[in-house]
Chains A and B, each alone.
Chain A
Amino acid sequence: MIARVFKELNDHIEEYLMGALLIMLTSVMLLQVFLRFAFNTALSWPEEFCRYCFVYFAFLTIGYCVKNDSMLKLDLIRNLLPKKIGDIIYLLIQLCCFAFFTYMLIFSYSLVTMVKNTSRTSPAMGIQFYYIYISTIIGFTLAVVRSLQFIIRFLRDNLYKGSRGETIS
């Protein structure tokens, strides 16, 4: 049971969170429009709420894109160079990305601590500012995990194929 839940989360956690955020964002924005038309009153919190939803949404997309390998790139190396060399460079780039995400994670932790000490609050909803900045920690943590998973999968696939004497793809 726990294993199944864990697998489900591992496969889809970003999708669930992002989907929920996107639906929330849409609904609250609609509420705002509706209130403005119907009662001519513009609340200040819905817009702020939507913006913060999107900040979380956007930081979750990093892990999502790493997992699905869907970040935009030129991909010249693997098209121009021989497969084996291209693959090695590709692996090195993945390792660099992993190092980059780890580096960013460490500094986003410092950033959150720093913002927490200022104890500033948001203008409309009055929530502590560092709650918004926590999105960076969550985002980069997922990115680190996904990037590590990606590298392991890449190595496993290629070593397995390599051991059977097939060309590395």
Chain B
Amino acid sequence: MTVTILIVFILCMALSFPIAIAMALGALVPQFIDASTITDTIYIIRTMVVGLDSTPILAIPLFILSGALMSRGGISQKLFDVFAYISGTRTAGLPCAVIVTCLFYGAISGSGPATCAAVGSMAVPLLVSLGYDTAFSAAMVTVAGGLGLIIPPSISFINYALVTGTSVTSLFVAGIFPGILIAIFLMGYAYYYCKRNGEDKEKIAINYKKLRERGILGVLRDGFWALLCPVIILGSIYSGICTPTETAALSVIYALLVSVIAYKTLKWNQVWSVVLEAIKAVAPLCVLIAMATALGRILTLANAPQQLATFVESTMQGKVSFLIILNIVLLVLGMFIDGAPAILILSPLLMPVAQVYGIDPVHLGVIIVVNMTIGLASPPFGLNLFVASSISDVPITEIGKKTIPFIIMFVLALVLITFIPGISTILVK
């Protein structure tokens, strides 16, 4: 039964059916094989409704809406100015400032492509004007944009929590250190690159002088509301004052007030167009979640997770080999399939398997999400590549080549995250 369901699902997907429809078609299979099954069509539609009827899921449209408001509000520029001021004229100062901006912007935005677009559209032209290689700059935001998915809030973590029943708050808290670690690794390569290829110190000095003229207080005052945002979001989630969903609602109103009143970068009459933008971003995900819940439920009833667990346990000796294989499979899969459907379908299947090897569900969530984030930036289909390519006018293949060293650094960080569970779980209460 399990095999038939999966074959129908994968076949439909390969035939270029929309992935969500392929999922639903897979879910419809059992009733045609076994007439006595309770999983008839009515049951499947009901499962969709029940899957959507949840409180954590509400955080997804809310965080996407606040992200859309922030990006229209030009928050990334304000953040970047602060870090550019701090980094000054040091070697690789500006590339590192871009990576740190992605890190902080990740604490505002819950999506990788959105972070890549918001930071990239501002930073890539600036880096190019200061003499950095266009493809290198684009490749850097392609990979660093993924931090948006690892630093909380993160749509990927919410998706994982929805299908596995793990707490969103725990996952969010677990994402903080892995995100910082990855940023440090990425900065390491940026430093090496700048050291080897040299930088245009003159142009950088002129740019820095302009920032100096505004004074540290001027830059900080401009950046204050932008910097406060991650503090509010992370603070309220970590302290437990608010649930992730409530935090998401707060971040919407905060983004609205900051963009419209504090920075005046957004007018009231433009708000509706931002709402439409958010709808455009969230719509494909909603269809996917509805159908994935149905397929997930059907697979569980067909006993798929247990079958997989038994199979893996009998073929793989020990935790280490399991983790290595898991990472390789996820990395390859992530290169070809978008993160959201992969997380929604695989997580509930993998969780019982991981439990056999004593892997914490939160740690497993971090591993899956980091793997899928790498897929987001890696050739040939990584969504961030397309975003960065449209920002920089550099062909995808060229950006793809320059992303490889960054991705290698990302994978090194992944190895540490996989084998040192503490990086993820130390903050989780």
Contact = CB atoms under 8 A, between A and B. Distances in A.
Interface in A51-98: 51-52, 54-55, 57-59, 61-62, 64-65, 68, 70-78, 89-90, 93, 96-97
Contacts of B340: 72
A42 B365 CA distance: 31
A145 interface: no
Given A72-B341, A96-B17, A29 B249 contact: yes
B279 A18 contact: yes
B41 interface: yes
A90 B16 CA distance: 8
Given A19-B279, A26-B62, A114 B42 contact: yes
Count class of interface residues, chain B:
35 or more
Contact of A29 (B52, B53, B57, B58): B58
B61 A57 contact: yes
A74 B21 CA distance: 12
B57 to A, nearest CB: 6
B181 interface: no
Interface stretch (B130-138, B284-292, B304-312): B284-292
B15 A33 contact: no
Nearest to B340: A72
A73 B42 contact: no
Given A22-B275, A74-B16, A135 B57 contact: no
B287 A89 contact: no
Interface string B31-69: 000000000011001101100111101100110010000
A50 interface: yes
A73 B45 contact: no
A102 B171 CA distance: 39
Given A132-B49, A135-B49, A65 B16 contact: no
Contacts of B245: 29
Given A71-B21, A100-B24, A133 B49 contact: yes
B41 A103 contact: yes
Contact of A30 (B45, B55, B253): B253
A104 B58 contact: no
Contact of B15 (A50, A89, A110, A111): A89
Contact of A71 (B20, B54, B279, B282): B20
B19 A97 contact: no
Nearest to B290: A58
Count class of interface residues, chain A:
35 or more
A72 B53 contact: no
B387 to A, nearest CB: 15
A35 to B, nearest CB: 11
B14 A70 contact: no
Contact of A22 (B57, B61, B288, B341): B61
A34 to B, nearest CB: 9
A51 B55 contact: yes
A75 B16 contact: yes
Contacts of A111: 42, 45-46
A155 B249 CA distance: 43
Contact of A64 (B19, B53, B283): B283
B199 interface: no
Contacts of B46: 111, 133
Given A30-B250, A32-B246, A72-B284, A55 B53 contact: yes
Highest count of chain B CB atoms <10 Å: which of A29, A51, A57: A29
Given A59-B290, A78-B16, A111-B45, 14 more contacts: A15-B276, A50-B55, A54-B58, A61-B284, A64-B279, A65-B287, A72-B341, A74-B19, A77-B16, A93-B15, A93-B16, A103-B41, A107-B45, A132-B53
Interface of B: 13-21, 24-25, 41-42, 45-46, 48-49, 52-55, 57-58, 61-62, 65, 242, 245-246, 248-250, 252-253, 272, 275-276, 278-280, 282-284, 286-290, 336-338, 340-341
Interface of A: 15, 18-19, 22-23, 25-26, 29-30, 32-33, 36, 47, 50-52, 54-55, 57-59, 61-62, 64-65, 68, 70-78, 89-90, 93, 96-97, 100, 103-104, 107-108, 110-111, 114, 132-133, 135-136
5 contacts: A29-B58, A54-B52, A54-B57, A72-B338, A76-B14
Nearest 8 A-B pairs (CB), nearest first?
Answer: A71-B18, A29-B249, A61-B283, A58-B286, A61-B286, A107-B41, A77-B16, A73-B18
